[in-house]
Amino acid sequence: MKKSIVALEKVSFSYGCHPVLNNISLAIEPGEAVGLVGPNGAGKTTLLKLILGQLKPQGGRVYILGEEAHRLRRRHRVGYVSQRATHFNNDFPATLREVVASGRVAGRGLFRPLLRTDYAVVDRTLEMLGLKEYQNQPVGCLSGGQQQRVFIARALVAEPVMLVLDEPTVGIDAAAVAAFCDLLRSLNREQGLTLLIVSHELEELSSLITRQLYLNGQPCDCSCHSYTSPQLQQQNCVKGLELNYAK
Ligand SMILES: Nc1ncnc2c1ncn2[C@@H]1O[C@H](COP(=O)(O)OP(=O)(O)OP(=O)(O)O)[C@@H](O)[C@H]1O
């Protein structure tokens, strides 16, 4: 049987006595491009942190490729591009190539120098993302859209099974957002990379998303709404999720 990339089984999470997620079950399958939306404070970032293994659920289990997320040995297999990537310290004295290559270190270990094969992956990724010509420039000199590409490249050189992006279009102008969507679409459709994207602006990513999850922040059994095809609606209804269509 094919393993889901991510599987949440009846997951609950509270900060102290403040419940955020209650009894959430969902699966993300290889090759999906899932959009996660919901109002401020609904628990989207908390859900991402559980998937990234940074938080441990108080109830239920979170699996990445069948392994419990907080025990995952090869954490770099889930690439993460945070919203903060667009708030990069522009005085940081590193070139684009150095920043991208640092994404390779996680897979090798801190004290093992990168090999020629590692740099071949870095070069291939820079080429694929159209960054090669800027490789010796300080990252701080690049535009917001270019910097976001650099952070995607850094996540990609670790050869992840999935890329998780938190509000990736914040602080990027409209033209760069369109180019950014093209890049994510080609990574998903052509390279088969699974995507999970949290965004308030899912409208601009709508041509990219294959399924949309809505988190409404109500700590109840039906807090995760999935917008998807009629068949999946049928299946998810059986699982007891409340559903609506996005389009
Ligand atoms: N470390 C923390 N300690 C206590 N409460 C927290 C912590 N982090 C988040 N919360 C609370 O948990 C709830 C969910 O927060 P979370 O950041 O997951 O929501 P979100 O949907 O990502 O919100 P936003 O869209 O504003 O980023 C909020 O009420 C928030 O105040």
pLDDT in tens, 167-199: 888 777 777 788 888 889 989 999 899 999 998
Please work out whether the CB of residue 168 comes within 6 Å of at least one atom of ligand 1.
no
Q: For ligand 1, say whether the CB of 125 is within 6 Å of any of its atoms.
A: no
The number of residues making up the chain comes to 247
Helix 116-128 to helix 144-156 angle, to the nearest 10 degrees?
Answer: 140
Domain annotation covers residue 247: no
Give a yes or no: residue 243 inside a domain. Answer: no
**Amino acid found at 115:** L
Angle, helices 144-156 vs 174-189, to 10°: value is 20
Question: CA 48 to CA 200: how far, in whole Å?
Answer: 15
Residue 100's CB is within 10 A of a number of other CB atoms, namely 28
Determine the structural domain holding residue 201 and report its residue range: 6-238
> How many angstroms separate the CA atoms of 141 and 7, rounded?
40
User: 28 pLDDT exceeds 90?
Assistant: yes
- Rounded CA-CA distance 67/62 in Å is 8
Query: pLDDT band for position 110 (50/70/90)?
Result: low
Atom of ligand 1 at shortest range from CA of 200: 25
C-alpha 106/C-alpha 157 separation (Å) is: 10
Find the CATH number of the domain harbouring 73: 3.40.50.300
Q: Strands of 67-68's sheet, edge to edge?
A: 18-28, 6-15, 59-64, 67-68
45 Cβ closer than 6 Å to some ligand 1 atom: yes
Are 196 and 164 within 8 A, CB to CB?
A: yes
- The predicted structure's pLDDT at residue 7: 95
159 in a domain, yes or no? yes
Q: What does residue 13 show for φ and ψ, rounded to 5 degrees?
A: -150, 135
User: What's the rounded Cα separation, in Å, for the pair 138 and 104?
Assistant: 19
Q: Please check whether residue 246 lies inside any domain of the structure.
A: no
Residue 91 in contact with residue 168, Cβ under 8 Å? no
pTM of the shown model: 0.82
If one residue of 20, 48, 197 were mutated to test the ligand 1 pocket, choosing by the most ligand atoms within 8 A of its CB, it would be: 20
Interval 197-208 mean pLDDT: 81
Residue 39 has pLDDT above 90, yes or no: no
**Which residue's CA lies nearest to atom 4 of ligand 1?**
15
Question: What is the total count of domains within the chain?
Answer: 1
In a domain, 210, yes or no: yes
41 lines ligand 1 (CB under 6 A): yes
Q: For residue 126, tell me if it sits in a domain.
A: yes
Q: For the purposes of burial, counting CB atoms within 10 Å of the CB of 55, is it exposed (0-12), middle (13-18) or buried (19 or more)?
A: buried
Q: Is residue 244 part of a domain?
A: no
In Å, the largest CA–CA distance within the chain is 54
Q: Which residues contact 224 (CB under 8 A, 6 or more apart)?
A: 24, 25, 26, 213, 214, 215, 241
Q: Is 216 in the pocket of ligand 1 (CB under 6 A)?
A: no
* CB 228 near ligand 1, within 6 Å: no
The Cα 164–Cα 245 span in angstroms is: 23
For residue 120, tell me if it sits in a domain.
yes
Q: Is residue 163 within 8 Å of residue 79, measured between CB atoms?
A: yes
Average pLDDT over residues 15-25: 92
Nearest CA to ligand 1 atom 26: 40
